[in-house]
Structure 1
Amino acid sequence: MFRKMLLALVVVVSLCGSAFAAGKNPTAVIDTNQGKITIELFANQAPLSVANFIDYAKSGFYEGTIFHRVIQGFMIQGGGMTASITPKQTGRPIKNEAGNGLKNDRGTVAMARTGVVDSATAQFYINVVNNPFLNHRDNSQQGFGYAVFGKVISGMDVVDKIAATPTGVQQGMPDVPLTPVVIKSVTIHK
């Protein structure tokens, strides 16, 4: 009987500890010309991606960038280009943390990258729907996936509004909003 009670206590403490640790995660407010989006950053599961995002945010890098790739029913991507569709100079790529167990579900925030697994720098995307094909399946080039590092906790209506923005081809790039969706700032709160 004592053992069962002790085990139950350990489980409760463990669950409370997890909830407490989750409450300690930093948040970021992405202020756009369409409204504000608040995301919780999963520092325990994606430490490299979160530190990278925080560094770019604190340096002011995201100010004046746009959501340059918007696909309704898929995702919105931004954080690397100016309104003139000019890429900003970024730092070195980071290691891909897609194997962290987090899924590309609606409202999650993940690192954008090229076809090279460890190529993510500043760009990120927000999933508008569940996108399981972007999840980590294995360590192959095709199966590695995209690293989720946060989740929208407020402002999903803003994300949906951005996702519904009319798009077209600009400077040879498809899915660019016809009216720029500008990131005015990204503020980190700990």
Structure 2
Amino acid sequence: MSKTTLPRRNVILGAGLIAAAPQVVWGADGKPRVTMKTALGTMVLELEAKKAPLTTANFLRYVDAKAYDGASFFRAARNDWAPTEGTIVAQPAAKVRPFPPIRHESTTMTGLKHTHGTISLGRFDVGTATNTFFICLGDQPFLDARPGEPGDNLGYAAFGKVVSGLPVAQKILAQPTGGETKFKDQQDQWLKKPVIIESMRRA
């Protein structure tokens, strides 16, 4: 499976249809949490199951299937105007077969925005998202849906945020890039050494 990003820098590829999505486990605040252990430290994600139910259920389906164990952050797309900001992109190992793509939940539908710490689902065309996701470091408003502008202008499907461990995400963004990729517009964005996700579990 190829790996990608967004218009300016193709953000990522897709999510997976939920034919029989697992039941969401609600926390005290009504939002499920997931603990992600990486080679550089641990992050805790809080998911917007009420605002982005389809995207959240899709992500949890992969978590429950342990599909992200052994996955990796393979890309660090740093903003030209602010190198300490940008997005880090991850997806499962190539041997993991994705579930069917899911319907796109745009930011105009959910009310969510791509602000600092947001976790969002990657895609190519609308309706192609499966299991690739990214985390925003710094506000990234160009990833939101922008009705009225050229192109498909539907942005990406934000569905949660990092509530603990953002310095770990920052470390990943700062890793050396220049790794091999077939995408010419991403030559300086692929990590020379991908950061392994050791496990992801519901908190």
TM-score, L = length of structure 2: 0.75
Against the structure 1 CA distance between its residues 78 and 118, is the aligned structure 2 distance closer, same or farther, given a 3 Å change threshold? same
Deviations, residues 51-75 of structure 1 (Å, cap 9, x unaligned) = 0010100101011111111123210
Unaligned runs of 5+ in 2: 1-26, 79-84
Q: Tell me which structure has the larger Cα radius of gyration.
A: 1
- Alpha-carbon separation, structure 2, partners of 1:103 and 1:110: 10
**Within-5 A mapping of 1:129-144:** 129-138=138-147, 141-144=151-154
- Amino acid across the alignment from 1:76: I
Residue in 2 that maps onto 1:69? 75
Q: Which residue of 2 aligns with 1:162?
A: 172
Structure 1 position 136, deviation (Å): 1.4
Q: Which residue of 2 aligns with 1:107?
A: 117
Aligned pair count reads: 165
1:88 Cα deviation (Å)?
3.5
- The answer as to whether partners of 1:76 and 1:125 remain within 8 angstroms in 2 is yes
Q: CA offset at residue 96 of structure 1?
A: 0.8
Secondary structure at the aligned position of 2:172 is classed as helix
| 1:97-148 per-position Cα deviation (integer Å, ceiling 9, x unaligned) | 112110011100000111x111110111000121111111238852111011
Give the corresponding residue for 1:120: 129
Q: How far off is 1:87 after superposition? A: 6.7
Runs of 4+ more than 6 Å apart: none
**Percent identical residues:** 35
2:193 aligned with 1:179: yes
Structure 2 residue 109 is the aligned partner of structure 1 residue 95? no
User: In the aligned structure 2, how far is the partner of 1:185 from the partner of 1:62?
Assistant: 6
Residue 59 of structure 1 is matched in structure 2 by: 65
User: What is the aligned partner in structure 1 of residue 82 from structure 2?
Assistant: none
Is the Cα contact below 8 Å between 1:37 and 1:152 reproduced in 2?
A: yes
Note the C-alpha offset of 1:171. Answer: 4.5
CA RMSD of aligned residues (A): 2.0
The gaps in structure 1 that reach 5 residues or longer are 1-20
Structure (1/2) with the larger helix percentage: 1
Aligned partner of 1:29 among 25, 35, 43: 35
**Range with greater deviation from structure 2 (136-145 or 52-61):** 136-145
Residue 10 of structure 1: aligned partner: none
What is the CA deviation profile of residues 34-90 of structure 1, one whole-angstrom value per residue up to 9, with x for unaligned ones?
00010100000000111001010010101111111112321001023x3xxx47421
1:34/1:42 Cα in 2 relative to 1: closer, same or farther (>3 Å)? same
Q: Give 1:180 deviation, angstroms.
A: 2.2
